[in-house]
Chain A
């Protein structure tokens, strides 16, 4: 595609690991969509029935769900909600009312439960279509390539040139080859960090570049409000997760969907942080719900395949590094507003319409500096690394049989409490791995250093008072900044030696170059720049909160103590 002569560095290209899309697990899944939904409904139904064995329990569950759903419809309606929402729940209400006063109506209640589950599952289930997938993929590739060339090669007609492709803009580092191998022998569950709404599309594209079949992934239903995003996400194998619905029936349907899809061999993608990182920190605690479904799926596979021919599930952590997150100022303000006081706030999206989104995309892909995606080494569900053949290896280099973790008294057993603990353990391992494979950009480090220098100057203020300081009062002489930066960069290199973090290649450049590059890039397209150098060669900020956001990226490495 690219003219050979202009190629500066050798780029790896990956062939698809499966020749046709026909064999893709996600294609199989969508082909048998109806059957699969029925299966999910049956399984979730059995689970909820077993969890609510007593006479009135199921009734209570239904009534609470109804109450919450009606509240949601009244208080927080979304464009994407189906038109018959009100009607459906009114009908459920009528039928529940009819049951009042009558004695044992378990049968009728179970029927209602099934109805609700069916509605939920149908809403959750993705609508993957091969043809649309291909089209969407081409649009992304073609469109972005055009945009890149139009801006980077500033010549007339550059719009039609092919000098830059998305490959130049997005670096993929880490265990790309291994994930391809693992996807052939088992089921991959990819767990990326989540900073920007762009992640969903970006990761979809990465998966394609790696030659992997499309993954299924849970995407917030709110994103489907935006028509154009909905189109892409439907095409890329997304299923819908509605964060407004927190009732147990919905959650069970969602978990069962994910669990069964993984068991069917569909490679999956979770953002285990749940939502975008509001603070800019790398996720420090993960949502255990969806991770738990992977745990359950693995145990089920082991149980269903006593001959050990079942597929193994591999967890692959991924970090995405940006110099610039468009949503940063909004995210950090939400974070600051909600911290300390856990109150509910309605999500405000930076781009709630297709127009805003396109504007953002253009800005991002034309101006935003490079993005790097680090792919971590695959792990089994207990956090043991796996080799290229999928064998789990413990930290002493010995092979481990993952099945053994689910054995008790010589038998495979389903122990939910045990699996909950395992899931907590897995989530901790993933968080550690995020920090380890995270690539430090110059922009992250300058933000961190500047913020910490200022913070130390006003140690006595609490964070909120500190952030309210007038920005005009804040400056650091270049020399002081550069001295401190050099010390911290050294500490980062030490951490890198201990394999506790990774660094971008540009971080090793001469000091001044790195600092200038970092300052130029950190949050470069915000209207109020988090860091600038003024004419007196002082480091200044125009937006301390946003600086705090970018600074947070380096949180969790215990670097604060060097100031």
Chain B
């Protein structure tokens, strides 16, 4: 297959995880793609096997480990690396970036700024100022301000299988949204635009919390009623948290919020769901993390969210219960009992 717009500059995907790989394959249908991987072995593997993370690698994709080459060749970059490595990646990339670059990230996690000797576990308070979304990290570390994000129900394995799906490109800049749409859209992939960058980022990030909870319910075989309850109450919690962190309600009722939530809460393909599921089956968190080959962002997000809840005094019982289950050894059954007794029963109060 030949590219539809070979005359245009290539685009880059930074990070060769399964989602990065899936996005690279979608982009490759319209453009030449440079795929950055940190590990030279992976680059070699992609070049020789033409296969990575269980996905076929499109012929328009070239793997490279050279960030300066990527920045000099491409105007539009899609960073898709785990949130814990995101800032470091940006620091390496930053010297090669110029204000004409456009960055659209696909990372659904948060970054935290810590003082010396501080860790997420020993820090006392964490407020919004110390917590950054990935778009904020990009602007912190580089001169790039035309920033966007990808969010929506985009399970990497389904995308790779060519099943129909849609995503949201969010950015303050119409130009970025249009560029994202042009590059990503194809017959099986619909692309929506949204101006509320922070809201969409947060929707994508916070849904991972609820996905873990959903995995737990599933692992305990608690049925569909319970799941319906979780999704709708979880959604409301996401909105509270999202509002406290500067997002609008609207973002959460769209594709990146409810859309993504429903997809991840029902799917064994989701890493976060898997974490919850295995927890319910009796494994410990350390065991689970040790033998997962990719990061489940939700685990870290719960830690951060807990601190945000404490500081901004948000009502978020599910997240708090999850925190206790994950990090303080509260038995799952006990947590569910507590939640069922939670003395609050107004259905909708955020609209």
Contact = CB atoms under 8 A, between A and B. Distances in A.
Interface stretch (B24-32, B95-103, B183-191, B212-220): B95-103
B75 A404 contact: no
A418 B173 contact: yes
Contact of B99 (A396, A400, A409): A400
A417 B145 CA distance: 14
Interface residues of A, number: 20
B143 interface: yes
Contact of A421 (B95, B141, B173): B173
A401 B95 contact: no
A456 B98 CA distance: 49
Interface in B276-304: none
Contact of B175 (A382, A396, A401, A418): A418
B94 A404 contact: no
A302 B99 CA distance: 15
B100 A405 contact: yes
A394 interface: yes
A407 B76 CA distance: 12
Given A382-B99, A396-B94, A410-B75, A405 B174 contact: no
Contacts of B172: 421
Interface residues of B, number: 17
Interface string B98-124: 111000000000000000000000000
A382 B144 CA distance: 11
Contact of A407 (B94, B100, B142): B100
Contacts of A402: 99
Interface in B141-160: 141-143, 145-146
A404 B173 contact: no
Contacts of A407: 99-100
Contact of B100 (A396, A398, A408, A417): A408
Nearest to A405: B99
A417 B174 contact: yes
A177 interface: no
B175 A394 contact: no
A410 to B, nearest CB: 7
Interface string A401-434: 1101101111000010110011001000000000
B86 to A, nearest CB: 17
B175 A415 contact: yes
Contacts of A418: 146, 173-175
B94 A401 contact: no
A395 to B, nearest CB: 8
A410 B141 CA distance: 23
Contacts of B141: 396
Interface in B67-111: 75, 94-95, 98-100
A129 B141 CA distance: 49
Contacts of A400: 98-99, 143
Nearest to B101: A404
Contact of A425 (B8, B100, B145): B145
Contacts of A410: 9, 75, 100
Contacts of B75: 409-410
Nearest to A409: B75
B140 to A, nearest CB: 8
Contacts of A398: 95, 143
A394 B143 contact: yes
A181 to B, nearest CB: 23
A382 B145 contact: yes
A400 B144 CA distance: 11
Contacts of B145: 382, 405, 422, 425
Contacts of A394: 142-143
Most interface-central of A401, A404, A415 (chain B CB within 10 A): A404
A516 to B, nearest CB: 36
A398 B174 CA distance: 28
A129 B69 CA distance: 57
Interface string B199-239: 00000000000000000000000000000000000000000
B277 to A, nearest CB: 42
Nearest to A399: B143
Given A382-B145, A394-B143, A396-B94, A404 B100 contact: yes
Given A382-B145, A409-B75, A410-B75, A401 B98 contact: yes
Nearest to B94: A396
B84 to A, nearest CB: 21
A91 B142 CA distance: 57
A401 B173 contact: no
Contact of A408 (B8, B94, B98, B175): B175
Q: Which 6 A-B pairs have the closest CB atoms?
A: A404-B99, A407-B100, A405-B99, A404-B100, A417-B174, A404-B98
Given A398-B95, A409-B8, 8 more contacts: A398-B143, A401-B98, A404-B98, A404-B99, A405-B100, A410-B9, A418-B174, A425-B145
Interface of A: 382, 384, 394, 396, 398, 400-402, 404-405, 407-410, 415, 417-418, 421-422, 425
27 contacts: A382-B145, A384-B143, A394-B142, A394-B143, A396-B94, A396-B141, A398-B95, A398-B143, A400-B98, A400-B99, A401-B99, A402-B99, A404-B98, A405-B99, A405-B145, A407-B99, A409-B9, A409-B75, A410-B75, A410-B100, A415-B174, A415-B175, A417-B174, A418-B146, A418-B173, A418-B174, A421-B173
